[in-house]
Structure 1
């Protein structure tokens, strides 16, 4: 009981922090390709997905699950997901890209498009967006707290190295040429120094939240992020990496390099499956406590456990086992904290080799990926 109370009190405190007062994440920063290979979602699956920016929850629908429950303790993240659902359901592909901010539009056009989808929102979501029309006008995909923080980093890099030099790396078709360009034109003292300062514990905890890194017992954040970034720039193709484009350019580089839910070929399919989504506002432990045994087959848990102390992490995984069906799969990421699937919960079998291989292909700078299968 004490562990449950402590977790809920922490959730309540986190929810009041500036990072979560509006939109913390306008996009999901977990790679959807990695997510699908980890979870292997297919026809008939019942998924629990942390909402965050809503992108990956929508992308799960592409794999024909029977049902997806989107859960977030921040109601505004669910309001954002409802806006994205309304754009898919009420607009054509081009209008969807205009409303959300992928395409440039004439002044006032995004508000005009919002009025066309407004009645498809729930009353709470409608009230939220009516009160934050400025976010819509600016392009909501760039208006999350994290996106605005990372955009500052991109502007600083552009100012130091020159915007054309930075953008050019996204147009190099050969990985070998991309790697050579990175080490010649990007990597250097200014690049390394900016990582060390901008992603230091002091700066990043002010931009995000001090609780997010409470369980990280080391410093040198910038050096660790820079090592992951170097792997991405030197070893993974960048033209399709919309994560790095959002950080360094402050926008999507191409309409062919977008999250799956925004791609034109997926528009009609997703529109036909939106009714399979259920949105829930609440914390993980409180929600799971209301769920019957043997309900879910897949769990997308984002980077949720960055915020959890080890006893709360163990308790949450015991509840996950209870509500999971035999053979269910789960995955989650760590930003920096060294965390593993809890050995105390023996019904979860880690898939460490797969997690290591997929992390090496991940297009964002997460430090760890955990994948497990439930056998009970």
Structure 2
């Protein structure tokens, strides 16, 4: 595993802010972008919110494939390793995500057993996790990543100690989910009770009687009509505009209700770790349900034995691809990053994707709205080299258990 790229330290995140800023500072949109950039400069996603199982089906991922993916919380990168691909390049502009990805890789490589990995990333309130880090992981981290996890707060506690409690309650998304629970409690609803459901029928009943009515409350409609209210979901101003397009009264409450309905009602709770994080703010215990793909025991040895195939880069997707040889990448995972991009940025990205794509390469990504964000925006001379797998995209979008995106999209390289 390569060292973390040199930059001005984990406390600064200028590349990410630059990527977000599309309007002048003293404008309404410019101020909104800068507020989002400020919030996004910290840890955002302790858990990634894209379904790795859907990703791997879409990519038809195999052992000869070279992958470039955005890191985020690092869960999916490790899940991809369960298919033993040839190489994975992980990119992210957020240095907190870089540190988390590198910690997860080192933990898999150096903790003694699968149970130790699960205790570190799959369970909460394990007070010995920081001691396990000290004993097995710390000495195997590069200097920058180790300094990040051992930095002390004003209370004197090291950052790694968050894993003694529940890291999934931290970060921008974790705090947003916590605020959602508080808001529901103010209206008399305890969202944690959802995990008591024992069937899809009971899940549906809880949603219809307890959750759905919340979206008609004046306070919630007011909050969801403000762009800044959804920054905690990692939704930047550009994505909010897509969601709000045509929404009644400018509130995206109906859209959020629809997405939450899918999360709550379309998949058995036992099989949906995203629902557990949303409603219980933790992963299920063994008797309650299944863990994310990267934490399941049947994948442990394959992942552990292949961590050296991953390289983590503090860079943008386009920046990394510009350094790649022609026809050298088989699979590209863009998450929802294109929703943030200008037309110029999209065309620069797809120019590099098309240059580096190997025969039969695939690109997968998600969008806040239902339609593919690149149609009509990326030059036709580039898009004509790619086939949009519309039917397969729709099919897999229905299977995506995270449920927070409007569209899932697959493009295959024609040459």
Task: Specify the TM-score bucket, using the shorter chain as the normaliser.
Answer: 0.7 to 0.9
Q: Does the residue aligned with 1:187 lie in a helix, a strand or coil?
A: helix
Unaligned 5+ segments in structure 1 are: 1-6
Moved over 6 A (4+): none
For the pair 1:248 / 2:279, whether they are aligned, the reply is yes
Match of 2:384 among 342, 346, 363: 346
Cα offset, 1:40, TM superposition: 1.0
Q: Does the residue aligned with 1:290 lie in a helix, a strand or coil?
A: coil
Q: Does the residue aligned with 1:73 lie in a helix, a strand or coil?
A: coil
Relative distance call for 1:159 and 1:120 in structure 2 (3 A) is: farther
Q: 5 Å matches for 1:202-241? A: 202-207=227-232, 208=234, 210-213=236-239, 216=242, 218=245, 219-241=250-272
Cα offset, 1:328, TM superposition: 0.6
Show the counterpart of 1:112.
131
Q: Distance in 2 between matches of 1:206 and 1:45?
A: 35
Match of 2:68 among 48, 61, 66: 48
Show the counterpart of 2:337.
304
Match of 2:120 among 72, 75, 99: 99
Deviations along 1:148-204, one digit per CA (max 9) or x if unpaired, are 2122213433554443xx44543444323432343234432x254375345433343
Count of aligned residue pairs for this structure pair: 365
Cα offset, 1:273, TM superposition: 0.8
**Cα contact 2:329–2:361 (8 A) shared by 1:** yes
Cα offset, 1:136, TM superposition: 3.5
Q: Does the residue aligned with 2:64 lie in a helix, a strand or coil?
A: coil
Relative distance call for 1:205 and 1:162 in structure 2 (3 A) is: closer
Q: Does the residue aligned with 2:411 lie in a helix, a strand or coil?
A: strand
**Cα contact 1:205–1:213 (8 A) shared by 2:** no
Q: 5 Å matches for 1:1-376? A: 10-11=18-19, 17-91=37-111, 92-100=113-121, 102-106=123-127, 109-116=128-135, 117-131=137-151, 132-158=159-185, 160-163=187-190, 166-188=191-213, 190-193=214-217, 196-207=221-232, 208=234, 210-213=236-239, 216=242, 218=245, 219-255=250-286, 256-336=289-369, 338-342=371-375, 344=380, 345-364=383-402, 365-376=404-415
Q: Distance in 2 between matches of 1:275 and 1:292?
A: 21
Q: Distance in 1 between matches of 2:193 and 2:17?
A: 47
Q: Does the residue aligned with 1:239 lie in a helix, a strand or coil?
A: helix
Q: Distance in 2 between matches of 1:111 and 1:126?
A: 13
CA RMSD of the aligned region, Å?
2.7
Comparing 178-187 with 301-310, greater Cα deviation is found at 178-187
Relative distance call for 1:135 and 1:19 in structure 2 (3 A) is: farther
Unaligned 5+ segments in structure 2 are: 1-14, 22-32, 152-158
Q: Distance in 2 between matches of 1:56 and 1:199?
A: 29
TM-score, normalised on structure 2?
A: 0.80
Relative distance call for 1:211 and 1:202 in structure 2 (3 A) is: closer
**Cα contact 1:111–1:137 (8 A) shared by 2:** yes
Relative distance call for 1:221 and 1:124 in structure 2 (3 A) is: same
Relative distance call for 1:86 and 1:142 in structure 2 (3 A) is: farther
Show the counterpart of 2:10.
none
Deviations along 1:181-235, one digit per CA (max 9) or x if unpaired, are 43234432x2543753454333435534754537536243222121121133233
Comparing 73-82 with 173-182, greater Cα deviation is found at 173-182
Q: Distance in 1 between matches of 2:412 and 2:122?
A: 38
Cα offset, 1:111, TM superposition: 2.0
Relative distance call for 1:61 and 1:250 in structure 2 (3 A) is: same
Show the counterpart of 2:8.
none
